[in-house]
Structure 1
Amino acid sequence: MNHQILELKVKLANKLADVSGDIIKKHFRQSNLPSETKINEISSIVTIADRLAENVMVDLIKKECPDDGIIREEGENIDSKNGHAWVLDPIDGTSSFVKGLPIFGTLIGLVDLDNNLPLLGCVNQPILQERCLGIRGKATTFNQQTINNPYVNNYDYPLKEACLTSTTPLMFITPRQQEIASRLQKVCSRTAFGGDCYNYVSLAMGWTAMPMIVLESDLKYYDFCALIPIIEGVGGMITDWQGNALNSHSTEVLAASNPNLHQQALNIILNQ
């Protein structure tokens, strides 16, 4: 993708964040908000805000980039005519949204389908007015300022002193996943649950008192696609549990503040 086209896509990503954010703000902390739990999915809630925010993004993409495909959480996907697709999660962290806690985000990714390359990723938090933007090959920004990951060069930091985070222990479904999660929890002296996409934002920003490891499973493509350029753009590492590049079929994600910590965690996962 040439520079001029990429600039147009970045502008569209910001427009998508703006229009979805306007809808989400109107529904945040509203009593008796229509919602439901998705069938056969643990702790997966969807509200009218999710659907309206997604629909307004889809309509805008159809208008401005009609040849682009769309991979979405709530509605039917739209096939790509040019090899590019937007990957949308209108509210990642709906459980926080329905509790009135501003630690959710709208995830907006753009992927080169032919080469499995996430080209850009945006996490927008409309209540706090915080926006992370990652562009492949460039430094990640937070509210248009370049992020400085304070842990990117901490190559001597031991895994046992890092903070291990996962959104919920319920996401480890199989005995294998539960055993791996337990193994890492025993190595890391600090474990925290909750956070959804904000775990990855916190990792990228270096907000934490120590480096972070994020271990998650039972995910969909829209849960992590937008996060890949953001993590990589600060020198962090994000892969599947085998150390392979993430793709649309991945369900298990391992992210770390730097490649050395990632390798230490991977060694535990692979029992090496």
Structure 2
Amino acid sequence: MTTETQGLMQAAAEVARKAGDVALDFFRKGVTVDIKGDGTPVTVADRTSEKTAREWIEARFPQDGILGEEFGETRKEAKRRWILDPIDGTKTFIRGVPLWGTLVAVAEGERILAGAAYFPAVGDLLVASPGAGCYWNDKRTQVSSVSELSKAVVLSTDERFIQSPERGQAWRALAAKAHMDRTWGDCYGYLLVATGRAEVMVDEFLSPWDAAALQPIIEEAGGVFTDWTGVRTSFGGNGIATNAALATQVRELLGANTRK
């Protein structure tokens, strides 16, 4: 692991912790919910958390760009940028359920240099960088070795999110073959895959701030992260995360190509 890689992993983890702990201060406090133009909810916790992350990054990496869910993009021309989701799972957060997280990634173009996912309400932190491994609470973690779909746990954020009839049918076919299907959703599902407690997590819709931190986490844990066409990317608008043993079979069942 190079010094630069180690530094970016540490930085991503630190800013995820700081921003996530700010959001945690608002958790289960009855915050007011606003609805954004796209119909999704937002609270003062989302905004304050992202502001905290931006201030931290601006103070230490003033030349870098920042792309965040709540406040858009700054310094689009920058070679390197930070990609932020202050609360991934705002609907979960609003209902007082602890399965939400703060996501931070560092990227050059579409190449992710480091990613961190912090789950303040349950005390979990994942951090990874290509070639450096994936760490769960400072210890190396890996996906499961389950190779039979009949023994697998498959997850999605919400079956209603799979709006395409064709993809919805494909998901139901996959779920019917699995040992268990659940909607432990948003970034928490990817935590379960990366730590070997589930084998598959799918989302039909993912923004870059949803996916960028998760790609290196899944891949460095030994899994496979692609969009629904089988391309390894955080910018495909959707995502399929699996362990390696089931990667091809799952993508075939979902109608996705299996290019790596």
TM-score, scaled relative to structure 1: 0.87
Q: Distance in 1 between matches of 2:149 and 2:55?
A: 45
2:100 is equivalent to residue 112 of structure 1 = no
What's the secondary structure of 2:73's corresponding residue? coil
Task: Select between 104-113 and 20-29 the one with higher mean Cα deviation.
Answer: 20-29
Q: 1:169 to 1:28 in 2, by over 3 A?
A: same
- For residues 105-154 of structure 1, the C-alpha deviation after alignment (integer angstroms, 9 at most, x for no partner) is 100011121xx2211110111222221111111221111111144x24x4
Gapped runs of 5+ residues in structure 2? none
Q: Residue 98 of structure 1 aligns to which amino acid in structure 2?
A: I
Cross-structure match for 1:19: 18
2:227 is equivalent to residue 240 of structure 1 = yes
C-alpha contact 1:67 1:80 (8 A) present in aligned 2: no
Q: Alpha carbon RMSD of aligned pairs, Å?
A: 2.0
C-alpha contact 1:20 1:90 (8 A) present in aligned 2: yes
* Residue correspondences, number: 257
Cross-structure match for 2:163: 173
Correspondence list, 1:17-166, <5 A: 17-31=16-30, 33-41=31-39, 44-113=40-109, 116-149=110-143, 151-152=144-145, 154=146, 157-166=147-156
Deviation at residue 35 of structure 1 after TM alignment: 1.3
C-alpha contact 1:158 1:261 (8 A) present in aligned 2: yes
- For residues 149-172 of structure 1, the C-alpha deviation after alignment (integer angstroms, 9 at most, x for no partner) is 4x24x4xx2223312210111211
Cross-structure match for 1:9: 8
Deviation at residue 264 of structure 1 after TM alignment: 0.3
Correspondence list, 1:208-247, <5 A: 208=197, 211-247=198-234
Q: Distance in 1 between matches of 2:233 and 2:177?
A: 25
C-alpha contact 2:35 2:41 (8 A) present in aligned 1: yes
Gapped runs of 5+ residues in structure 1? none
Q: Distance in 2 between matches of 1:198 and 1:228?
A: 14
Q: Distance in 2 between matches of 1:148 and 1:221?
A: 23
Percentage of matched positions with identical amino acids: 27
What's the secondary structure of 1:77's corresponding residue? strand
Q: Distance in 2 between matches of 1:204 and 1:189?
A: 18
Cross-structure match for 2:242: 256
Deviation at residue 189 of structure 1 after TM alignment: 4.1
Q: Distance in 1 between matches of 2:25 and 2:158?
A: 27
Runs of 4+ in 1 over 3 A off after TM superposition: none
